[in-house]
Chain A
Amino acid sequence: MVNIKINGMPYTVPEGISILDAAKQNGIDIPTLCYLRDINEIGACRICVVEVKGARSLVAACVYPVNEGMEIITNSEKIHESRKMTLELILSNHEKSCLFCVRSGSCELQKLAQEYGLDDPMAWAGEQNRYEIDESAVHMWRNNNKCILCRRCSAVCAKTQAVGVIGANNRGFKTHIGQAFELDLAEVPCVSCGQCITVCPVGAIGEKDDGPKVTAAIRDPEKFVCVQTAPSVRATLGEEFGLPVGTNVEGKMAAALRRLGFDKVFDTDFGADLTIMEEANELVERVKNGGKLPMITSCSPGWINFCEMYYPDMLENLSSCKSPQQMFGGILKTYYAEKAGIDPKKIVSVSVMPCTAKKYEIGRADQSAAGVPDLDISITTRELARMIRRAGIDFANLPEEKFDSPLGIGSGAGHIFGATGGVMEAALRTAAEWITGQPGAPLEFHEVRGTEGVKEASYKLGDLEVKVAVTSGLVNARKVLDAVKNGEKDYTFIEVMACPGGCVNGGGQPYQPASVRNFTDLKALRAKALYDEDAGMELRRSHENPAIKKLYEEFLEKPGSHVAHKVLHTTYKPRKRYDIKEK
Chain B
Amino acid sequence: MANTISSLKFSGTKEQEAELKKVIAEYKDQKGALMPIMQHAQEIYGYLPIEVQTMIAEGLDIPLEEVYGVATFYAQFALNPKGRYKISVCLGTACYVKGSGEVYERLQTILGIKGGECTPDGKFSLEACRCVGACGLAPVMMINDEVYGRLNPDDVEDILNRYNDK
Question: Which A positions have Cβ atoms within 8 angstroms of B?
Answer: 131-132, 134, 154, 158, 163-171, 178-184, 187-188, 578, 580, 583
A154 → chain B closest CB, angstroms = 8
Instruction: Say whether A171 contacts B72, CB under 8 Å.
Output: yes
Question: CB < 8 Å: which of A134, A158, A169, A184 contacts B72?
Answer: A169
Q: How far is the CA of A180 from the CA of B67 in the complex (A)?
A: 8
Give the Cβ gap from A160 to chain B, nearest Cβ, in Å: 13
Instruction: Say whether B63 faces chain A, with CB atoms less than 8 Å apart.
Output: yes
Contacts of B2 in A (CB 8 A): 182, 583
Give complex CA distance A178, B73 in Å: 13
Contact status A180-B73, CB under 8 Å: no
Instruction: Known A158-B63, A163-B63, A164-B63; judge A583-B68 contact (CB<8 A).
Output: no
Q: Let me know if B66 and A158 touch, CB within 8 A.
A: yes
Q: How many A-B pairs fall under 8 Å by CB?
A: 65
**Chain B residues with CB under 8 A of A132:** 1
**Nearest Cβ distance between residue A4 and chain B, in whole angstroms?**
33
A-B residue pairs in contact (CB < 8 Å), sample of 24 = A132-B1, A158-B66, A164-B62, A164-B63, A164-B66, A165-B65, A167-B63, A167-B65, A167-B69, A168-B69, A168-B73, A170-B73, A171-B74, A180-B50, A180-B68, A181-B4, A181-B68, A182-B1, A182-B2, A183-B3, A187-B3, A188-B64, A188-B65, A578-B64
A165 contact set on B, CB distance < 8 A: 63, 65
Q: Is the CB of A169 within 8 A of B68?
A: yes
Complex contacts, A187 vs chain B, CB 8 Å: 3
Q: A183-B3, A184-B3 are in contact. List 14 more A-B contacts (CB 8 A).
A: A158-B63, A164-B62, A165-B65, A167-B69, A168-B69, A169-B68, A169-B69, A169-B72, A169-B73, A178-B65, A180-B64, A181-B3, A182-B2, A183-B5
Q: Judging by beta carbons under 8 Å apart, are A170 and B72 in contact?
A: yes
Complex CA–CA separation, A169 to B3 (angstroms): 12
Encode contact with A along B44-65: 1 for CB under 8 Å, 0 otherwise: 0000001001100000001111
A464 to B80, CA, bound (A): 60
Min CB–CB distance A167 → chain B (angstroms)? 4
Report B-chain residues with C-beta under 8 Å of the C-beta of A188. Answer: 64-65
How far does the alpha carbon of A113 sit from the alpha carbon of B150 in the complex, in Å? 51
A171's nearest neighbour on chain B, judged by CB, is: B73
A578 vs B67: C-alpha distance in the bound complex, in angstroms? 15
Give every chain B residue within 8 A of A180 (Cβ-Cβ). 50, 53, 63-65, 67-68
Known: A169-B72, A180-B53. A580 touches B65 (CB 8 A): no
CA distance A449 to B72 in the complex (A): 44
Tell me the minimal C-beta distance from B64 to chain A in angstroms: 4
A374 → chain B closest CB, angstroms: 33
Q: Can you name the residue of chain B whose Cβ is closest to the Cβ of A131?
A: B1
Nearest Cβ distance between residue A576 and chain B, in whole angstroms? 12
Return chain A residues, CB-CB under 8 Å to B69: 167-169
Min CB–CB distance B59 → chain A (angstroms): 15
Q: Are A167 and B66 in contact (CB under 8 A)?
A: yes
Q: Is the CB of B63 within 8 A of A583?
A: no
Q: Of all chain A residues, which has the CB nearest B53?
A: A180
Residues of B within 8 A of A578 (CB): 54, 64
Give the Cβ gap from A475 to chain B, nearest Cβ, in Å. 12
Known: A171-B72, A181-B50. A166 touches B65 (CB 8 A): yes
Q: Is the beta-carbon distance between B63 and A178 smaller than 8 angstroms? A: no
CA distance A511 to B72 in the complex (A): 32
- Closest chain B residue to A158, Cβ basis: B63
Closest 6 CB pairs of A and B: A164-B63, A180-B68, A180-B64, A167-B65, A180-B65, A167-B69
Residues of B close to A169: CB separation below 8 A:
65, 68-69, 72-73
CB distance from A63 to the nearest CB of B (A): 20
In the complex, what residues of B have CB within 8 A of residue A178's CB?
1, 65
B11 to chain A, nearest CB (A): 18
The complex places the Cα of A583 from the Cα of B7 at a distance, in Å, of 10
Residues from chain A with a CB closer than 8 A to the CB of B66 are: 158, 164, 167
Residue among B1, B66, B67 with most chain A CB within 10 A? B1
CA distance A154 to B68 in the complex (A): 14
User: From B6, which residue of chain A is reached at the shortest CB distance?
Assistant: A181
Residues of B within 8 A of A131 (CB): 1
Complex CA distance for A158 and B57, rounded to whole angstroms: 13
Shortest distance between the CB of B134 and any CB in chain A (Å):
27
Residue of A nearest to B73 (CB): A171
Q: Which residue of B is nearest A164, CB measured? A: B63
For B7, the closest partner residue in chain A by CB is: A583
Q: How many Å from the CB of B115 to the closest CB on chain A?
A: 12
Question: Contact: A580 with B5, CB < 8 Å?
Answer: yes
Q: Which residues of B contact A181 (CB under 8 A)?
A: 3-5, 50, 68, 79
